[in-house]
Amino acid sequence: MPHRTAAARPSVSGVLPGADERRLPRTLHPLAWWVWALALATAVSRTNNPLLLLLVLAVLGYVIGMRRTEAPWARGFKYYLYLALTVVAIRVLFRAVFATGITPHDHFLFSLPHIPTPDWYAGIQLGGPVSLEAVLSAAVDGLRLACMLCCIGAANTLANPKRALRVLPGALYELGVAVTVSISVAPQLVQSVQRVHRARRLRAGRSKGLRALRGIVVPVLEDALERSLRLAAAMDSRGYGRAGSATKASRRLTGALMLLGMCGLCAGAYGLLDASTPTFLGLPALGAGALLCVAGLRLGGRRVTRTAYRPDPWWFEEWAVAGCGVLSAVLLFTNVGFDAAELNPSLYPLSWPTLPLVPAVAILLAGAAGFLAPPPLPTTAPQAAPRVPARRTEKATAK
C-alpha cells in the first residue's frame, strides 16, 4: 500500500504521526469518556467567552473525528449539533420577543411591534426595541448551553451506550436491564403493530377512528403481555434475580444513604457552579455527597451477586483521557495565571473578547484525548463489512 492510514485521514494527527498503526485498537472504558466529557462540560460552565466556547467545540470535533466508530450510535453527533443550534436560536428569539435586559445606552438594531399585556401580566413585556447587546448576550448564553449539550453528545458518541449502562453499579443493575430489554423489545412491538394493522384489512375492519384503534391495540397488547410473561419465565430460569445477602434493614440503609448522598451532590454542584453561594456548599458538600452515594451503592451492590462478561479494563489510556479532561476543568477553576474577568468578558461597553492564554491551553489539553485514547475497534457489523476489511488490510501492510 502506498499510503498510510494516518496520512489518509483528514486530521490534525500530525502531533504523533503514524502512532495509531503501532497501537492495538481497543474500546476505551466508557466511564473514561464520560468523565472526560463531563469535566469539559464543567469547564464550559465556567466561561462566557465565545472564543473559548468555540475552541471547546473545535476540540470536541477533533476528538470525535479521531476516535469515533462506525456503530449506529456513533453517527449521532450531528443531531446534537442541530440541537445546539436550536438552543442558541431559541434563546436569541426569546430575548428579542420578551425584550428584557435593555439599557438606555444600548445599540438598537430594530424594533418589534409592542403588544400590550393586561395589568395582571405586567411583569412581562412583549415586543419592543431589540438591542445588539441583548442579542449578543443571549447568543453567548445559548452557546454555553449548546457547548455543554455537545459535551454530553460527545460522550454518547464516543462511548457505547450499552457498555456504559453495564458500568452502572450493582445497585442500579435492574435499571440497566430494563433499558436493554426495552431496546430489544421496541422493534418487536413496532412489528406487531404493523402486522395487526395489515391484518385489519382482512376483516375489512375500519383502519381509522376509535374502534379501529381498539382492533389494533387489543391484539398488540395481548401479544406484548404474553411475550413479556414468556420473557420473565425465561429470565427466571436463566438465573435472573438470584438471591444475594440483603436484609430489610440493609435495604433501608441503602435508600437513606443514597437519598442523603444525592442531596449532598446537588447542593455541592449548585455551590460549585454558582459563585455567590457560601464556600462550604461547594466542594465539601459535593465530596460528602459523593462519599454517601458510593457507600450506598456499595451496600446496595452487595445484595446482587453477578459478574460482567468481558469487563472493560481501566488502564493507562483511561487515566490519561479522564485525567486530561479533569485537568482542564481544574485549570479553569483555579484562576491561576489569568484574570477571571477574561473568562466572562463584559458586553458593556461592546468590545472584541480576548483569548486568554491559560484557559485556551487548558481546553486544548482536553483535546489530547484525541490521540491519548487507543484507536477504536473496527466495527464488524455486516453493513459496514465491505469498508472495514479494506482498512484493516491497509493497516496490516503498513506495518
| Interface with another protein (CB under 8 A) | 162, 177, 180-181, 183-184, 187-188, 195-196, 198-199, 201-205, 214-216, 218-219, 222-223, 227, 230-243, 305-311, 380-382
Please give the biggest Cα pair distance in the chain. 77
The whole-angstrom separation of Cα 239 and Cα 308 is 14
CB of 235 to another protein, least distance (A): 6
For residues 109 and 181, which CB has a smaller minimum distance to another protein in the complex? 181
For residues 2 and 382, which CB has a smaller minimum distance to another protein in the complex? 382
For residues 114 and 198, which CB has a smaller minimum distance to another protein in the complex? 198
Cα atoms found within 13 Å of the Cα of residue 49, Cβ hemisphere only: 24
For residues 89 and 193, which CB has a smaller minimum distance to another protein in the complex? 193
User: Which cell numbers in the block locate residue 115?
Assistant: 403588544
CB of 161 to another protein, least distance (A): 12
Q: What is the DSSP letter of 61?
A: H
CB of 29 to another protein, least distance (A): 15
Is residue 98 within 8 Å of 131, Cβ to Cβ? Answer: no
Of 127, 133, 129, the closest CA to residue 107 belongs to 133
Is residue 111 within 8 Å of 63, Cβ to Cβ? Answer: no
CB of 226 to another protein, least distance (A): 8
The whole-angstrom separation of Cα 61 and Cα 312 is 25
User: Which cell numbers in the block locate residue 124?
Assistant: 412581562
For residues 178 and 283, which CB has a smaller minimum distance to another protein in the complex? 178
User: Which cell numbers in the block locate residue 253?
Assistant: 440503609
CB of 217 to another protein, least distance (A): 8
For residues 236 and 274, which CB has a smaller minimum distance to another protein in the complex? 236
CB of 9 to another protein, least distance (A): 24
What count of residues does the chain have?
399
